[in-house]
Every structure is written in structure tokens, then in C-alpha cells.
Structure 1
Amino acid sequence: MGKRLIQLTAVMAGVFLAVTNVTAKLPEKTEVLSVMGKVADWQIEHFHDDMQRENHWENRFNAWTYGALYIGMEKWAKLADDDKYYQFLLKVSADNNWDLGPGKYHADDQTVGQLYIELYRKYKKPNMLAKTLERTKWIKQNPSQQPMRLNNYKYTDRWTWCDALFMAPPVWAKLANITGDNSYRDWMFAEYVATVNHLYDNDEKLFYRDEHFIDKRDKGHKIFWSRGNGWVFGGLTLIIPELPEGPQKAYFTQLYKDMAQSLIKLQTSAGHWAMSLQAAELYPTPETSGTAFFTYGLAWGVNNGLLDKQTYLPAIELAWNTLVSHVREDGLLGYVQPVGAAPGEAWPDKTEVYGIGAFLSAGSEVYKLAQ
């Protein structure tokens, strides 16, 4: 009887914790701006620290890791009462010679183009866009003949891993708007649908990271990597606003809503999403990059009328407060899983530039929801 009482007490304590966390409200707008500024300033101060990577292809300021940072940093620059953030982004872009990464087809090497496009929209200087246009035009004219499969990284010309759906498709959607050339949008849509048909689980409404996880199980659980799905979910918010009303926009919007419905059910009572979305008991460590992308994506959906506020706001509030709890006093965002392709480990004192980008993106939408 004593053991049963202890178990019941533990369960009730867990329920109380979940309820109190879920009902936690968003802070005031000034507090959101304050923590965003602290995180952004820390990252700029430590901008070069991220260059000590084993993989030489990541040691570039136009690599995908940095491209993801710039997307969030540009969103922060729009909110900040200081032009230094735009000046930082302009300097980075100039240092990159406004060029994409070296891989002609590789989605990762197109990510930084999203920054150049947004700076072009603000400053209207053709040189900011020229090399991104040159690359994408070449790809359209010379489509890869590789199959839609990764095959242990043998085939990376096409979007054969789910992260790619954040990296490249928004570039194409934005270019269609800027140029008025619908072929950019149509090319992107066809490739995107091919990836969905390859990696999307229609029952779970989630993406496998790549083909090697489709039939794999982790102690009986399907393996849906948190950040991998975060890449897709965050990428959808960058694509949908660029699309005119019609079948393509309807397709992406339905995919976004289906993922949102699945994701909200998988949030942990602590507020984060586990590194393996359906196996939280196997991965109890918090992880902030996937969580930040989901927070960003859900808040964007509420702000744009795609998601019901009453249903989704509690999850957003819980997630944002959890993210902020992992920001150190000096501005370092902890528990960002290192570069990888599957659920793994994270640490309170370890961060990555793409995690900062995701956090700043989340803050840009939470700010609109805040008191």
C-alpha cells in the first residue's frame, strides 16, 4: 500500500508539473527582445569559434550551418533597435563575395542564398542576388540525373535527406517572387514533392531523416529525428508566404498543418521535443535546436491564422519558456545537438550557430504573440 501511495504521489506531481508548465504565460515583449539580443550578441562575439570543425566543408561562412544562423539573425535585425545587426550581415555577405557554397547542386550550399535574397529585398543592389540567380538558373538548365535516394551520401544532388527541405526550397520560392519567373517555383515544387513521396510517413505525419531510417526501429520506436523534422517544419514557414493562392500553396499548407497536429502531441511535459520524437523515454536530455524550430513554426502558424490560437498557444508558451531557461547569463544557448543526422546527445554548455538561428527565428514570432 505504501509503495502504491508513493507511485500515485509521483504521478500527481508529474501532472501538477505539466499543468503548471503548460499554463506558464509568455513574457512581455521587452523581455523577448532582451533575451534575443543577449543571444544574438553572444553569437556575434563568438562568431569565429564555430570554425574548429573536423569536416572541412563546414569551415566556411557560407556553409549551411551559418546559413541557418543568418536566417534567424536577419529576422532579429528587423526587430532590433540597432542597425549593427544588418551591418554584421552585410559584412558577412561581402566577405563571402555574395557567393553560395561550392557544391553545384547541393542543397546545403544554397542555404546562404536566403540571406542574400532578404538583403537584396532591403537594399535593392543587383550584385547581392547575381550569384544566387546564376546558380539556380544553371541547376534548372542542367537538372541532376541522380536517383531520389541518399545511398550513404552517394547521391546528394537532389533533396534526398529531409534537412534539404529547409536549405534550398525557400531560395527557389523567393526567387520566383523576385524575378516573376514561375519556373523557379514549379521546379522547386516538383523536387519537393519527390522528397515528400520518398521520406514522409503518411501515418505519423513526420519525416524520416533519410532512407536509412525508414525501416529502422529504436527499441520498437520509429525514428523521427527532432531537428530533421524541425528543418522541414521551419522551412515550410519560409516557403508558404512566397506562394500565390493555388494548388501548390494548398499542398504546402496542408503538409504544414498535418505536421503541426502531429508535433503538438509529442511535446514533453518539460516543454522540449525529444531528439527522437516518438521515443522521449530513450532521449530525456533537452534539445534546443529542434525545439526552437518547432516553437518558431507553431508561433508563425498562429500569427498567420493557420493554427488555432487556443489549441497551440499553450504549447508555444511552454516551449519558449523552456528555451529561455537554457540560455546562460552570458547569452549562450545550451543543449544544441551538434552536427548530426540522428537522435544523439546534447549538453548544457554546448551550442551551434544553427541553433542560434532557430532560437532567433522563434523569438521573432513569439514577440508578436507576447504581451
Structure 2
Amino acid sequence: MIKYHWLLVTWLSLFASVSAQADYGSKLPEQAAVLQQLRRANNYFMEKWPDAGKTIVTNRERPANIWTRAVYYEGLMALYTIDADKRYFDYAIQWGEKHHWQPAWAPITRDADNQCCGQTYIDLYRIARNPLYIRSIKDNMDRMLESDRVDDWDWIDALQMAMPVFAKLGVTLRDTRYFDRMYAMYAHAKYREGGNGLYNPEDKLWWRDKDFIPPYTEPNGEDCYWSRGNGWVVAALVRVLDELPDTDPHYDEYLQDLKDMLSALVPLQRADGFWNVSLHDPSHYGGKEATGTALFTYGMAWALNKELVEREVYLPIVAKAWNALVNESLHENGFLGYVQGTGKEPKDGQPVTYTSMPDFEDYGLGCFLLAGTEVYQLSCSPDAAD
């Protein structure tokens, strides 16, 4: 199997990447411009979907609190922290009320996708202090605590969907049992799922699920690392670290995993600021893709805001990625182009173009809002434009 020896070239690539990006797209927009971009994208969606309970119809009908819509509301709640527009709060409350503050599809579930909506339910509970908002999601997670099973997260998307629910409940209820179970399930996915885990410590990236563990390879002979899948892991780690007390025994591992992933992503950024859907095979459905790019931007900007990574390395990369998203993905009416549709690998959800409509456009916006909220805060710093 062809190997690129990514670990040996990473640091050389870090500085080469910074040098190559220094004169093109390396300046962050002004704070007001970032907020205007976020509002434009969000207003497009809220105007298109005024009824937060309206079912989603694609190849079939689905409730509007499935994971795709839940990721949008993660982004909306992030936007609300920097732009306290009551319309956002009311829209999120309407969403919860119309779904009776329950997980997607059924009142009781172990499926991470169906639990994702709980992240926003908990955020709203923290604001309004209505115990109804978290009753059902707490019941679901408590039932998981009562079981010895820890192998539910057998695909990496699940980490973003459910890990923050455990972290938020643990903080909100001051109960470390949620942290402990979260780590047990994370450790299974990382070290044991599919045999030896879904994380490759050599490349510091994750296989999407056991179907992509070697000997599976991309057409160029490299391992298959799906961009958005790795983006979900980045987002999971950010959202957990943003909640978890640093005294937790696994805090340092989560932090190191995030920093390792971000360093592995640096040399993989395209010259235009995006990342390809296949991280180690740019020829396999190569091209601009907004969701993985937004999630990587989210993670890097968050790490910069927390002063966890080197500004001279990551700031130009974040600026170039954000400028690519707003100049080449964001339409004048707020629609987002270059969003890969749902799936689990590079070939899914194609074609990905400026005008292509994905099967679900909500999660792409959620990723964009998460990234933009961190970029907005980064734009506040005195040296953000340096």
C-alpha cells in the first residue's frame, strides 16, 4: 500500500503551508462582516422553514428533529451567543415544543443520531430552567448508564451527535457518571471498534467505520479518511472540551487528540482554502467541499481562541478557509454551495458544486454557523488580522 509518510512531513508542511498562504486570503474579515455573513446564511434558512416542526421530505418523510436539523440548531445556539436575537431563541423553543422535547423517531433510543437534538434541549434548559426540556434526553442517557454496553458508537459521526449530550448533562447536573460513560464509549470507538479501533495514531485521523479500515483503500492506495467524518470528530472534541472540567481524568487525552488531528489537517488544506472530501486522495471526487472545511475551521478557530495552538501556523489557515467559505460557498441569498449530501464516504452525495442542492441543507448551515461563531470571536483579538 502506498504511504505518504504524513507524520514525517507534517511540520515541514505546516510552515510551507503558512508561507504559501501568507499573501492570499490570510486576513480575517472584520467582525461586523463575519456577523453579516452568518445572518445572511441563517436568515435564508429561517425564512425557508418558518415552521420548526414541519417534517422533512426527501426520499421519505422524517421528523424535523433528526440529526441533520439538530446540527443546524447547534449552530443557531452558537450564533445566539454572539447575536442575541430573540428570533433565534423563539425558533429553537418552537422546535423543541413541536417535538415534545423528545429524541428523534422514538421517546427511547440509544442511537446517537436520534439523541443529537438533546444538545440544544440542554442549552435551552440552561437559559429557561424548564425541567421539561431535558426530561426525555436525561431519561435516555440514564438508561444507557444502567447498561454495561459501550459499543453503540460504531461510526465516527456518532461522537459529535452524542458525546456533547453526555458532557452537557454531566456539567448541568454536576454528575460525573455521564463523563465516565462518555469516555468508555469514546474509548471503544477509538481503540476497539472494528478490531483495533477507528483511530489511526500514525496518520492521526479516523476511519469512518469498520468498513474503511485497511485493507480498504482509496483509488491511489491510501487509507480512506472522509473529510466530514473527521470533521465530526473535531467538532465532538471541541464541544466536549468546551464543557468538561479540566480535572476530568480524560481531559488531556481529548485535548491531545484534537491537537493531533488539527496538525494532521494542516498540510491537507487545498490551495483554495477548502479540504477535499477524501483527505488522503485528492483525486477521488476532489474539489471544494464546505462541510468538512467548516468543521475543521470550527476546531482550529476554537483552539486559537483558547490559545491551544500556534497562531503563526493556524491563523492564516483559518482565515483562508473562512474566506473560501464566504466567497465561494455562500450565495448572495444565503444558500450554501459545495455542501456534500448525506452519506459516509467521498462518492456519496455527489456532485458537489456551487449550485448543487444537497439532500439536506440544514447540517451544512449548522457547520457554517459553528465555524463562523468562532471566527467572529477570533476577529475580536488584536492580532487576528496579522
* TM-score computed with the length of structure 2 as normaliser: 0.85
User: Quick check: 1:298–1:312 contact (8 Å CA) kept in 2?
Assistant: yes
User: Quick check: 1:18–1:270 contact (8 Å CA) kept in 2?
Assistant: no
Q: CA deviation at 1:181?
A: 1.3
Match of 2:377 in 1: 368
> Any idea what the Cα deviations from partners look like across 1:125-171, whole Å, max 9, x if unmatched?
111111111111111113448xx4xxxxxxxxx00000000000110
Give the partner amino acid of 2:130: K
User: Quick check: 1:334–1:347 contact (8 Å CA) kept in 2?
Assistant: yes
Aligned partners of 1:22 and 1:191: how far apart in 2?
A: 42
Q: CA deviation at 1:281?
A: 2.8
Q: Which runs of structure 1 show a deviation greater than 4 angstroms over 4 or more consecutive aligned residues? A: 20-23
User: Quick check: 1:299–1:316 contact (8 Å CA) kept in 2?
Assistant: yes
Q: For residues 299 and 367 of structure 1, do their structure 2 counterparts lie closer, same or farther at Cα, with a shift above 3 Å needed?
A: same
Among 250, 262, 283, the residue aligned to 1:281: 283
1:208 has 2:207 as partner: yes
Match of 1:327 in 2: 330
SS of the residue corresponding to residue 221 of structure 1 reads coil
Aligned partners of 1:202 and 1:178: how far apart in 2?
A: 33
Match of 2:353 in 1: 347
Aligned partners of 2:147 and 2:284: how far apart in 1?
A: 44
User: Quick check: 1:163–1:209 contact (8 Å CA) kept in 2?
Assistant: yes
1:165 has 2:159 as partner: yes
Q: CA deviation at 1:55?
A: 4.7
Q: CA deviation at 1:283?
A: 2.9
SS of the residue corresponding to residue 250 of structure 2 reads helix
Aligned partners of 2:175 and 2:128: how far apart in 1?
A: 21
Aligned partners of 1:22 and 1:278: how far apart in 2?
A: 24
Give the partner amino acid of 2:245: P
User: Quick check: 2:21–2:317 contact (8 Å CA) kept in 1?
Assistant: no
Aligned partners of 2:44 and 2:185: how far apart in 1?
A: 37
Aligned partners of 2:257 and 2:60: how far apart in 1?
A: 33
User: Quick check: 2:198–2:208 contact (8 Å CA) kept in 1?
Assistant: yes
Match of 2:64 in 1: 61
Aligned partners of 1:238 and 1:214: how far apart in 2?
A: 26
Q: CA deviation at 1:264?
A: 1.0
Match of 2:75 in 1: 72
Match of 2:13 in 1: none
Output aligned runs, 1:22-101, within 5 Å. 22-47=24-49, 51-56=56-61, 59-101=62-104
Aligned partners of 1:136 and 1:126: how far apart in 2?
A: 15
- Ranges in structure 1 where 5+ consecutive residues have no aligned partner: 1-14, 149-157
Q: CA deviation at 1:176?
A: 0.7
Aligned partners of 1:19 and 1:356: how far apart in 2?
A: 26
- What RMSD, in angstroms, separates the aligned Cα atoms of the two structures? 1.8
Give the partner amino acid of 2:207: Y
* TM-score computed with the length of structure 1 as normaliser: 0.89
Give the partner amino acid of 1:111: C
User: Quick check: 1:206–1:229 contact (8 Å CA) kept in 2?
Assistant: yes
Task: Answer with 342-351 or 34-43: which moved more.
Answer: 342-351
Match of 1:306 in 2: 308
User: Quick check: 1:296–1:362 contact (8 Å CA) kept in 2?
Assistant: yes
Q: CA deviation at 1:77?
A: 1.7
User: Quick check: 2:101–2:136 contact (8 Å CA) kept in 1?
Assistant: yes
Aligned partners of 1:232 and 1:35: how far apart in 2?
A: 25
Aligned partners of 2:232 and 2:21: how far apart in 1?
A: 29
Among 146, 149, 152, the residue aligned to 1:141: 146
Task: Answer with 253-262 or 23-32: which moved more.
Answer: 23-32
Aligned partners of 1:72 and 1:245: how far apart in 2?
A: 24
Aligned partners of 1:200 and 1:21: how far apart in 2?
A: 35
Q: For residues 105 and 18 of structure 1, do their structure 2 counterparts lie closer, same or farther at Cα, with a shift above 3 Å needed?
A: same
User: Quick check: 1:69–1:353 contact (8 Å CA) kept in 2?
Assistant: yes
Q: CA deviation at 1:105?
A: 0.8
Among 312, 337, 357, the residue aligned to 2:340: 337
Q: For residues 50 and 96 of structure 1, do their structure 2 counterparts lie closer, same or farther at Cα, with a shift above 3 Å needed?
A: closer
Equivalenced residues, count: 343
Q: CA deviation at 1:309?
A: 1.2
Aligned partners of 1:261 and 1:66: how far apart in 2?
A: 30
